[in-house]
Amino acid sequence: MTIKKCPICNGPGEKERQVGKYWLSKCHDCGFVYADVSDEQIEQVNFNFGDSVKHHYCEVQSSIDALWFERISSNLTQGKKGLKVLDIGCGNGLLLRQFQKRGCVCFGSDPSPWAQEYAQKYGYTLLPRIEEAGLAPNSFDIITATSTLEHVARPIEHLKYIMAAVKEGGMIYLTVPNYGSLPIRLRLVKGRLVDPPGHCNYFTAKTLKNLFMQKGIKEYISYTRVRSYGIPEIHAVYRLLSKKIPTSVKSSHDSMPKRILLKRALINIYYWSGMPFGFGDKLEAWIVKNSAFPHQVFIA
């Protein structure tokens, strides 16, 4: 059977490794790793999320995630109010709620049948899939897509839609699992992040940067930064530590409960410890779309 061509550069694929009944392929030309499955298979598994995924969201997404998203939304908005934000793959709205706190006008997009329930509950607008939403060009100040690009059958086309929808000088923030992470390099992580066909794209820092260099995308980018972050064990560590600190205990130098200070410290450990050597659990990308104002300076 022929191996599917690379979804980034259309180069020929070679067998990389078998995961369950699926094969991952590696592009001979650009080194991108992807699941050797059809677009239809990817659609079938990724756009029919039921109640099990809903419960998974609620169990896995902890207050650590909320603090992490607080940090992202703070860095992206830079204190500006009234920004128009779209979160692709918004799930239960955890990230959008952080943007709402910062006075943003919030839109989400998520194929899950239960996504509308959360949109109504928290008061943001749920749009159809970005490919079908008919968005006006240059309409959002910020577009975020955390842990979504690994699920998309056609990443270039998807990113083109994002690039078109963000305003000139606007920001795009993406995260994906890091296929170059230490546990994956050592073949220690099997099920969680290496999970075809649901996860069909396996980016490393190098292949993610290469995605941004493709024709039809690179022309619209004035700044990008890609780096790895995160360690996978953070939730377990937090659960272990937080059990030992009663919620009522206050720290001596601050009125903030110790639990919050602990979380803040863990967020920093989580973020920075994944950075050296690009071995972190995830990759994040900051992108600024070409600005009509050449003197605009971007500060991360």
Residue ranges binding Zn ion (CB under 5 A): 6, 8-9, 11, 27, 29-30, 32
> Shortest approach of Zn ion to residue 120 CB, angstroms?
41
- Cβ distance to Zn ion smaller for residue 9 or 83: 9
Question: Shortest gap between Cβ of 149 and Zn ion (angstroms)?
Answer: 15
Q: Which lies closer to Zn ion via its Cβ, residue 11 or residue 257?
A: 11
Identify which of residues 26 and 282 has a Cβ nearer to Zn ion in the complex: 26
Angle (nearest 5°) at CA 25 between 20 and 31: 140
**Nearest to Zn ion of 92, 201 (CB atom):** 201
Q: How many CB atoms lie within 10 A of CB 236?
A: 9
Quick one: 46 or 210, whose CB is closer to Zn ion? 210
Residue pair 114/90 in contact (Cβ under 8 Å)? The answer is no
Q: Cα separation of 90 and 107, whole Å?
A: 9
C-alpha distance across the termini of the chain, in Å:
46
- Complex with Zn ion: residue 11 or 111, whichever CB lies closer: 11
Work out how close the CB of 8 gets to Zn ion at its nearest, in angstroms, rounded to a whole number.
5
CB 28 within 8 A of CB 37: no
- Specify the residue, 152 or 182, whose C-beta has the smaller distance to Zn ion: 152
Q: Which is nearer to Zn ion, 9 or 194 (CB)?
A: 9
CB 297 → Zn ion: shortest distance, Å?
Answer: 34
d(CA 261, CA 101): 20
Measured distance CA(52)–CA(299) in Å, rounded: 40
Q: Quick check: bond before 197 cis, omega within 30? A: yes
Residue 144, SS3? Answer: strand
Q: How far is the CB of 114 from Zn ion (least distance, A)?
A: 35
Least spacing, CB of residue 34 vs Zn ion, in Å: 9
Q: Which amino acid is at 223?
A: Y
Sign (positive/negative) of CA torsion 255, 259, 263, 265? positive
- Going through 89-229 in order, the beta strands assigned E by DSSP cover 105-109, 125-127, 140-146, 166-177, 201-202, 221-229
Tell the smallest beta-carbon distance from residue 169 to Zn ion (Å). 30
Evaluate whether 34 touches 10 at the Cβ level (below 8 Å).
no
CA dist list (Å): 299 to 223, 276, 287, 296: 11, 22, 12, 10
How near is the Cβ of 193 to Zn ion at its closest, in Å? Answer: 21
Q: Residues 66, 98, 70, 200: is their CA dihedral positive or negative?
A: positive
Give the strand pairing for 22-27 and 13-19.
Answer: antiparallel
